[in-house]
Amino acid sequence: MGQDDLFGSSVNEPQAYDVAARAEWLRNELNRHSHAYYVLDNPSIPDAEYDQLFRELQELEAKHPELIVSDSPTQRVGGEPLPEFHQVRHEVPMLSINNGFSEEDIQNFDRRVREGLGNDHDIRYACELKFDGLAINLRYENGLLVQASTRGDGFTGEDVTVNIRTIRSIPLKLQTTTPPSLIEVRGEVLMFKSDFAKLNQRQRTANQKEFANPRNAAAGSLRQLDSRITAQRSLRFFAYGIGRLDGAPMPTRHSALLDWYQSLGIAVCAERTVVSGAQGLLDFYAVIGQRRTQLPYEIDGVVYKIDDIEQQKILGYVSRAPRFAIAHKFPAEEATTTVLDIEIQVGRTGALTPVARLAPVSVGGVTVTNATLHNEDEVRRKDIRLGDCVIVRRAGDVIPEVVANVPERRPDNAIEFVMPTACPVCGSPIVRLEEEAIARCSGGWLKCAAQRKGGLLHFVSRRAMDIEGLGEQLVEQLVDKGLVNTPADFYHLTLDTLSDLDRMAKKSAQNVLDALEKSKTTTLARFIYALGIRHVGESTAKSLAKHFGSLDALLASDEARVLEVADIGPVVALSILSFFSDPLNRQLIDQLRASGIHWEEGEPEQSNDLLAGKTFVLTGTLPTLSRDDARAMIEAAGGKVAGSVSKKTSYVVAGEEAGSKLTRAEELGVVILDEEQFLKLVESGS
Ligand code: IVH
């Protein structure tokens, strides 16, 4: 299939070579593709082809400067840095909006609205997202973007036109032959989470300061005096309001205003709707709250506006905020607090994680007292010290982390963190391999109680041996009293020993024994996973079990055979082989089998071609598999992985934040799989 089939044929390509016509055609083509990519989120052309057309236009304009027009895509990046930003007085002030936090706040808002309108019926509200970026005013005169300004104090902002022109979701010219003589489009400039991550990665590589969050990154990028820097920062824009309008009728509804914007080629967010009554508002809040972490950008709430513009006018404004709108905020995902101490946590593989003990603070609706600092390099890079005031973040179910310090609020006596040289739990030396970011306790299971506890907890965990009732506190007691040292010891516990422990009655002790007994009937995959071999997660354990069929076959295998397994590379293979070659581990396995743990053994797998002839496209982030894992699994089963979706694609495997490839797959009717369905397919071929 040629590119034209894939992306739709180009329109009106001039045959005879007429420079002016060619330049105009190139401008239109480039604008059309930019719009498809940045506004419709549906790319219509590969990047390389876009770049080629762009270069052609640049060369044409260099030879014929008289052909350059201000809305040419080549004119997005300005020249020399500005000495400063000029002040801009807003003709219509840019107001703020009142906040509500609870259901009651929203019900009160709706009641005030109905009272103000003398209306007993349900009010129609336009619902949209509250973007966490910066408010911008875009001034279009006769369809051309002539000025862009920040909100500032609401009355006077700064002229950031040259920077705004670099944002490709903002049209330099409105898509209409009958533009209003003047329109001020208002909306939010923001940075997508993925672009933020890439930017920080670049900053890190260049040894430059990282940004604390996408909002700061967007603000920092927009306030650059050198627009060439802004141009490299992938900013986005969503419109949500209007300032002055001359020479066109004002739409009668807010929702119609946004639809009009969309028809003019201005980006508006797809997550918008019109509902009626307070219950409609609360339903919208709940739906968006569920999806919040999956959105490609950050929001800090939702916004409700009366849809009917006439009704908006009747209600009007009270001190700098409208009576007809309210922001319903989500619990903040970030908060500032003080670092009381930095402690070292030892994980089951001996990995040392610096953890900040914090003055209690509410983040995302939960009180946080600890936050991870990941590793030593991270503490250094972020320059986090004891006593520092820091930003902590907790998004969704993710473990809270320290994002950055607040330099202005560092006390004089802040103490620098020093990584210990001995394990704080067992005193063994700490080693850090050169190529690894993680420092580890060298004590291993036998010497280090922290590793022992971690390993035992992993063994009993739900996805491993699934022994209910053996929780953290119980395992801690068993280890501290020397009653359990290896997983095999669990199976020798008696009713008397267990019921003697703190907070254990006969009944709960018997429950633990029953759960232990039940766990003896298991699967080979669970058993392998439960052993806690480094780099062997659940999916690798499953692959091993399936490939070898029996534990003895696995124990007897060598590197070449382990490398035959679908998603296993040299590092993982080495870890598996060295685990099984350790006599203590062999002994443990024998003891566990002797205590009655058993599973149904299967036949070793023949090399398979289950997916022969099938082409996959991977997009977005899968919950547990990395791209490389998924690719290895597909290839091991004889399938192929392609970079873009076409009619020939057999399956698209889509994860979180899947973008245009997913849309394309939907359009073409290609089968879309989530991770679970994908794993099933790889295992069974159907
Ligand atoms: S409307 C007259 N809609 O929130 C009402 N604002 O406090 C003007 N914001 O500075 C604002 N998403 O930057 C509106 N969908 C949305 C918004 C939104 C984010 C920001 C905006 C403004 C602040 C209002």
Q: Write the DSSP string, 589-635.
A: HHHHHHTT-EE---PPPPP--TTTT-EEEEESB-SS--HHHHHHHHH
pLDDT for the residue 636: 76
Q: Please identify, by atom number, the ligand 1 atom nearest to the C-alpha of residue 151.
A: 10
Tokens at 512, concatenated: 């633990």
Give nearest CA residue, ligand 1 atom 2: 95
- pLDDT on residue 201: 93
All domains in the chain, ordered by first residue: 3-76 (1.10.287.610), 99-329 (3.30.470.30), 333-415 (2.40.50.140), 444-519 (1.10.150.20), 524-594 (1.10.150.20), 615-684 (3.40.50.10190)
* CA 131–ligand 1 middle distance (angstroms): 8
Residue 3 CA to chain centroid, in angstroms?
31
pLDDT tens digits, one per residue of 450-501: 999 999 999 999 999 999 989 899 999 999 999 999 999 999 999 999 999 9
Judge contact between 139 and 155, C-beta under 8 A.
Answer: no
| Residue nearest ligand 1's atom 15 by CA | 130
Task: Report pLDDT for 7.
Answer: 40
Structure tokens belonging to residue 634? 């597909």
Q: Is the CB of 135 under 6 A from ligand 1?
A: yes
Any ligand 1 atom below 6 A from CB of 95: yes
- Can you count the helices (H) and strands (E) in the chain? 27, 26
Question: Residue 565: what pLDDT?
Answer: 86
Contact between 108 and 116 under an 8 Å Cβ cutoff? The reply is no
d(Cα 586, Cα 588) in Å, to the nearest integer? 5
Q: Which residue CA neighbors atom 14 of ligand 1 most closely?
A: 240
298 lines ligand 1 (CB under 6 A): no
Name the residue at shortest CA distance from atom 3 of ligand 1. Answer: 240
Give the residue among 54, 77, 79 at the shortest CA–CA distance from 165: 77
Q: Are 352 and 441 in contact (CB under 8 A)?
A: yes
d(CA 121, CA 446): 72
Inter-residue contact 482 to 446 (CB < 8 Å): no
Amino acid at 10: S
* Shortest-distance atom of ligand 1 to CA 96: 7
Please tell me the distance between residue 137's alpha carbon and the centre of ligand 1 in angstroms: 12
Instruction: Determine the Cα–Cα distance for residues 395 and 398; give it in Å rounded to an integer.
Output: 6
Contacts of 586 (CB under 8 A, 6+ apart): 555, 580
Ligand 1 atom, smallest distance to 134 CA: 13
The DSSP code for 485 is S
Q: Is the CB of 241 under 6 A from ligand 1?
A: yes
How far apart are the C-alpha atoms of 489 and 322, rounded to whole Å? 68
Longest CA pairwise span in the chain (Å)? 96
Are 301 and 295 spatial neighbours (Cβ–Cβ below 8 Å)? no
Q: Report the residue among 186, 188, 238 best suited for mutation to probe ligand 1: largest number of ligand atoms under 8 A from its CB.
A: 188
CA 526, 531, 532, 535 torsion: positive or negative? negative
Tell me the three-class secondary structure of 25-43, residue by residue: HHHHHHHHHHHHHHHCCCC
Q: What is the CA radius of gyration of the chain?
A: 30
Contacts of range 23-30, beta carbons closer than 8 Å, 24 or more positions apart: 23/57, 23/60, 23/61, 23/64, 23/67, 23/72, 26/53, 26/56, 26/57, 26/60, 27/57, 27/69, 27/71, 27/72, 27/73, 29/53, 30/54, 30/57, 30/73
3-state secondary structure of 299: strand
Structure tokens at 664: 């394309």
**593-597, long-range: CB < 8 A, 24+ apart:** 595/488, 595/491, 595/492, 595/520, 596/491, 596/520, 597/491, 597/519, 597/520, 597/522, 597/527
Query: 616 has which bridge partners?
Result: 641, 651
Alpha carbon of 117 to ligand 1 centroid (Å) = 23
Question: What pLDDT is stored for residue 686 in this prediction?
Answer: 58
Identify which of 92, 125, 129, 131 to mutate to test ligand 1's pocket (most ligand atoms within 8 A of the CB): 131
Query: Contact 101/130 with Cβ under 8 angstroms?
Result: no
CB < 8 Å & 24+ apart, contacts of 439-444: 439/351, 439/352, 439/375, 439/376, 440/349, 440/350, 440/351, 440/352, 441/346, 441/350, 441/352, 442/350, 443/350, 444/350
Closest residue by Cα to residue 594 from 486, 470, 512 = 486
CA 235 to ligand 1 center in whole angstroms: 18
Q: Determine if ligand 1 sits within 6 Å of the CB of residue 315.
A: no
Q: Alpha-carbon distance 565 to 539, whole Å?
A: 11
**Ligand 1 pocket check for 300: Cβ under 6 Å:** no
State if residue 96 touches ligand 1 by the CB under 6 angstroms criterion.
Answer: yes
**Measuring CA to CA, how many Å separate 236 from each of 96, 214, 294, 302, 473?**
21, 11, 17, 18, 48
Distance 241 CA to ligand 1 centre (A): 8
pLDDT for the residue numbered 217: 94
pLDDT for the residue numbered 640: 82
pLDDT tens digits for 663-685? 889 888 899 999 999 998 887 76
CB of residue 97 inside a 6 A radius of ligand 1:
yes
Nearest atom (ligand 1) to Cα of 129: 15
Phi and psi, residue 510, nearest 5°: -65, -40
Residue 633 and residue 673 in contact, taking contact as beta carbons nearer than 8 Å: no
| CB of 265 shorter than 6 A to ligand 1 | no
- pLDDT value of residue 9: 43
196 lines ligand 1 (CB under 6 A): no
Regarding the beta carbon of 576 and ligand 1, being less than 6 Å apart is answered no
Alpha-carbon gap, residue 680 to 686, rounded angstroms: 8
Helix, strand or coil for residue 128?
strand
328 and 304 in contact (C-beta within 8 Å)?
Answer: yes
Q: Which residues pair with 402 in a beta bridge?
A: 392
Determine how many CB atoms are found less than 10 A away from the CB of residue 612.
11
110 Cβ below 6 A of ligand 1? no
Contacts for 191 with CB less than 8 Å, ≥ 6 apart: 133, 199, 214, 215, 217, 218, 221, 233, 234, 235, 236, 297
The closest residue, in CA terms, to atom 13 on ligand 1 is 135
Instruction: State in Å: Cα 294 to ligand 1 middle.
Output: 21
- State in Å: Cα 187 to ligand 1 middle: 7
Tokens of 244: 């002055």
Residue 222 vs residues 79, 134, 167, 413: alpha-carbon distances, Å:
16, 9, 10, 35
| Residues belonging to the active site | 130
**If you take atom 12 of ligand 1, which residue's CA is the nearest one?**
130
Q: Is 325 in the pocket of ligand 1 (CB under 6 A)?
A: yes
User: Which of 151, 140, 141 has the alpha carbon at shortest distance from 87?
Assistant: 151
Contacts of 648 (CB under 8 A, 6+ apart): 1, 615
How far is it, in rounded angstroms, from Cα 87 to Cα 443?
63
Tokens of 587: 């002994």
Q: List the chain residues with pLDDT less than 50.
A: 1-9
Q: How far is the CA of 190 from the centre of ligand 1 (A)?
A: 13
Residues shown for the chain: 686
Answer yes or no: is the C-beta of 151 below 6 A from any ligand 1 atom.
Answer: yes
Query: Which of the listed residues 130, 244, 312 should we mutate to test ligand 1's pocket, taking the one with most ligand atoms within 8 A of CB?
Result: 130
Comparing CA positions, the residue from 460, 475, 572 lying closest to residue 527 is 460
Distance (angstroms) between ligand 1 centre and the Cα of 128 equals 10
682 CB burial (10 A radius; 0-12, 13-18, 19+):
buried
Compute, in angstroms, the gap from residue 130 CA to the centroid of ligand 1: 7
In 457-549, the DSSP E strands lie at 521-522
Secondary structure percentages of the chain, helix, strand, coil, to 5: 40, 20, 40
Q: How remote is the CA of residue 97 from the centroid of ligand 1, in Å?
A: 6
Structure tokens at 500: 């003697």
Which numbered atom of ligand 1 lies nearest the CA of 188?
Answer: 13
